[in-house]
């Protein structure tokens, strides 16, 4: 059967399953779960895969699900992925009243896309005409949030990496995968689909200033004000911004997560978190070292001490244009040349960057949401474009890659030199992890 017929069969099934796909997307949207806690969402994925008779593993990196469908002959394995987690935006009208979690990044659509692809492949009869396998992967914890909670999981030995894809890599879930792609929704007003361009990577810092408590009115001279120390550190970070170069796209955006407990007590324990983002590993490391120097300056000025925990975040996203070209062709068939936009650099970060370092990988983009990403007004406003069209584009891309003895997939894999092997990647991530306690000699033991 030729590819045109295979593609139309898969798309017909996806259209026929419209009701189930939209119901799933909406169910997940109003039941948001934060990273490494996506048990309900993962159960929904598992239920749909079971209904389709798709063999799958659950509980990978706590909540990850990995299904596998086989073509008619052995060959390469292509992963299509969806992210399970949400973010925390308490003001969002559909935020979980208890946790504040909300699907303000649209990952519910990714899971709808993933399950729609599963329906398309399993119910259309195309699989015997394909070569190789499709790994259908629901991946936990893309948003790098609730850092303290996840460090707790790490200390309990439940995870090593705080991001879901790095953890899945560590556990070997990508060992039998040759290339990978996914779709992320956006609220872009012009253009309907694209393949994302390069992005920033990041490291993540947990910072604790330790001072000494004292009566804030009666005897502040007997205390060491950890909040003042933190403020000096934050001002120092702002002072070095002029040294960041435009091409490096450095972003440092600290927050104070604990600023003091009682107004009449000099704050003794103050905590900050920040990312240090940049367009290359070298730029991130250089900026991270400058930020550490600034944080120490705060401790030095006040005679406090500062503990800086630097954690591996995500690698910058690389763009693999051969795979992108296959996707583009199919997306344009669905939304027209007018519906395509060419993506430029993204200053945010994602753990698809990590995957893109070890295999050919792309992150497709589809509009269909309105409002501000990670904002209280982020909502689906074109359900077909958000939930259905990306699944068709993905399924059609899989057919191009895997039909005709998987010639296109093999050509991409054979010509590919990964930026890092899995072992090099894990070694890199582990050497980022540092825990520094810094104090001036006169600080003594505070």
Distances (CA, A) of 209 to 150, 180, 212, 272, 306: 20, 42, 10, 8, 4
Pull the structure tokens for residue 193: 């689909």
The residue among 105 and 250 lying less far from Zn ion, judged by its C-beta, is: 105
The residue among 124 and 186 lying less far from Zn ion, judged by its C-beta, is: 186
- Select from 99-107, 220-228, 236-244, 378-386 the region that touches Zn ion (CB under 5 A): 99-107
The residue among 83 and 178 lying less far from Zn ion, judged by its C-beta, is: 83
The residue among 46 and 186 lying less far from Zn ion, judged by its C-beta, is: 186
For 427, the enclosing helix (H) or strand (E) is helix 422-432
Distance, C-alpha 66 to centroid of its chain: 17
- Smallest gap from residue 274 Cβ to Zn ion (A): 17
- Smallest gap from residue 80 Cβ to Zn ion (A): 16
Backbone phi, psi, residue 75, to 5°? 180, -160
Name the nearest CA neighbour of 297 among 286, 310, 308: 308
- Smallest gap from residue 105 Cβ to Zn ion (A): 3
- Smallest gap from residue 89 Cβ to Zn ion (A): 10
The residue among 106 and 312 lying less far from Zn ion, judged by its C-beta, is: 106
Q: Which of positions 374-393 make contact with Zn ion (CB under 5 A)?
A: none
Give the Cβ contact number of residue 51 at 10 Å.
13
Sign of CA dihedral 86, 87, 91, 97: positive
Return the beta strands (E) in 3-99 as ranges.
56-60, 64-70, 73-83, 87-88
Q: Which of positions 196-215 make contact with Zn ion (CB under 5 A)?
A: none
Q: Which of positions 20-79 make contact with Zn ion (CB under 5 A)?
A: none
Size of the site for Zn ion (CB under 5 A): 1
Return the bridge partners of 370, or none: 379
Return the beta strands (E) in 297-424 as ranges.
305-314, 361-366, 369-370, 379-380
Task: Return d(Cα 282, Cα 288) in angstroms, integer.
Answer: 10
Q: Which of positions 237-256 make contact with Zn ion (CB under 5 A)?
A: none
Closest CB to Zn ion: residue number: 105
- Smallest gap from residue 131 Cβ to Zn ion (A): 32
The residue among 191 and 259 lying less far from Zn ion, judged by its C-beta, is: 191
The residue among 138 and 401 lying less far from Zn ion, judged by its C-beta, is: 138
- Smallest gap from residue 42 Cβ to Zn ion (A): 17
Residue 57, helix vs strand vs coil: strand
- Select from 46-54, 105-113, 190-198, 213-221 the region that touches Zn ion (CB under 5 A): 105-113
Distances (CA, A) of 322 to 193, 301, 410: 17, 53, 12
Asked if residue 84 binds Zn ion (CB under 5 A), the reply is: no
Return the residue of 44, 49, 105, 173 that touches Zn ion, per CB under 5 A.
105
- Smallest gap from residue 41 Cβ to Zn ion (A): 14
- Smallest gap from residue 347 Cβ to Zn ion (A): 13
The residue among 89 and 224 lying less far from Zn ion, judged by its C-beta, is: 89
Task: Return d(Cα 24, Cα 117) in angstroms, integer.
Answer: 13
For 333, the enclosing helix (H) or strand (E) is helix 321-335
- Smallest gap from residue 64 Cβ to Zn ion (A): 16
- Select from 19-27, 98-106, 298-306, 331-339 the region that touches Zn ion (CB under 5 A): 98-106
Backbone phi, psi, residue 143, to 5°? -75, 125
The residue among 78 and 105 lying less far from Zn ion, judged by its C-beta, is: 105
- Select from 103-111, 150-158, 380-388, 394-402 the region that touches Zn ion (CB under 5 A): 103-111
The residue among 111 and 230 lying less far from Zn ion, judged by its C-beta, is: 111
Pull the structure tokens for residue 436: 């520094």
Task: Return d(Cα 6, Cα 396) in angstroms, integer.
Answer: 8
CB 314 within 8 A of CB 204: no
- Smallest gap from residue 121 Cβ to Zn ion (A): 24
Sign of CA dihedral 363, 366, 368, 374: positive
Interface with Zn ion by CB under 5 A: which residues? Answer: 105
């Amino acid at each position: 059967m030729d590819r045109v017929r295979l593609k139309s069969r898969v798309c017909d099934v996806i259209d026929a399953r419209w009701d189930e796909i939209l119901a799933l997307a909406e169910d997940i949207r109003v039941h948001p779960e934060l990273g490494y806690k996506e048990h309900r969402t993962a159960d929904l994925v598992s239920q749909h895969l079971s209904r389709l008779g798709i063999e799958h593993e659950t509980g990978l990196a706590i909540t990850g699900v990995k299904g596998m469908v086989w073509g008619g002959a052995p060959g390469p394995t292509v992963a299509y992925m969806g992210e399970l987690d949400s973010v925390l935006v308490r003001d969002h009208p559909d935020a979980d009243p208890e946790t504040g979690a909300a699907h303000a990044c649209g990952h519910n659509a990714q899971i709808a896309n993933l399950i729609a692809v599963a329906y398309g492949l399993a119910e259309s009869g195309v699989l015997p005409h394909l070569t190789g396998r499709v790994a259908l992967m629901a991946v936990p914890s893309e948003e790098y949030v609730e850092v303290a909670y996840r460090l707790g999981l790490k200390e309990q030995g439940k995870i090593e990496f705080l991001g879901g894809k790095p953890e899945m890599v560590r556990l070997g879930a990508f060992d039998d995968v040759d290339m990978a792609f996914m779709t992320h929704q956006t609220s872009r007003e012009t253009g309907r689909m694209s393949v994302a361009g390069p992005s920033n990577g990041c490291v993540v810092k947990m910072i604790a200033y330790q001072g000494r408590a004292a009566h804030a009115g009666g005897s502040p001279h007997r205390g060491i004000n950890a909040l003042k120390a933190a403020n000096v550190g934050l001002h120092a970070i702002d002072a070095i911004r002029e040294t960041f170069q435009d091409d490096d796209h450095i972003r440092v955006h600290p927050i104070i997560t604990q600023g003091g407990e009682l107004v009449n007590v000099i704050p003794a324990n103050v905590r900050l978190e920040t990312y240090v983002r940049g367009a290359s590993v070298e730029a991130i490391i250089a900026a991270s070292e400058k930020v550490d120097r600034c944080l120490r300056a705060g401790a030095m000025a006040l005679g406090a001490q500062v503990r800086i925990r630097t954690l591996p975040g995500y690698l910058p996203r690389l763009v693999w244009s051969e795979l992108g070209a296959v996707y583009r062709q199919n997306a344009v068939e669905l939304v027209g040349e007018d519906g395509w936009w060419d993506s430029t650099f993204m200053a945010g970060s994602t753990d698809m960057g990590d995957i893109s370092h070890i295999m050919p990988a792309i992150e497709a983009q589809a509009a269909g949401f309105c409002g501000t990403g990670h904002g209280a007004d982020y909502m689906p406003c074109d359900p077909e474009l958000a939930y259905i069209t990306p699944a068709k584009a993905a399924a059609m891309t899989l057919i191009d890659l895997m039909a005709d003895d998987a010639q296109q997939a093999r050509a991409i894999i054979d010509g590919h030199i990964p930026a890092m092997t899995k072992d090099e990647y894990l070694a890199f991530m582990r050497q980022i992890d540092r825990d520094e306690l810094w104090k001036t000699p006169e600080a003594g033991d505070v």
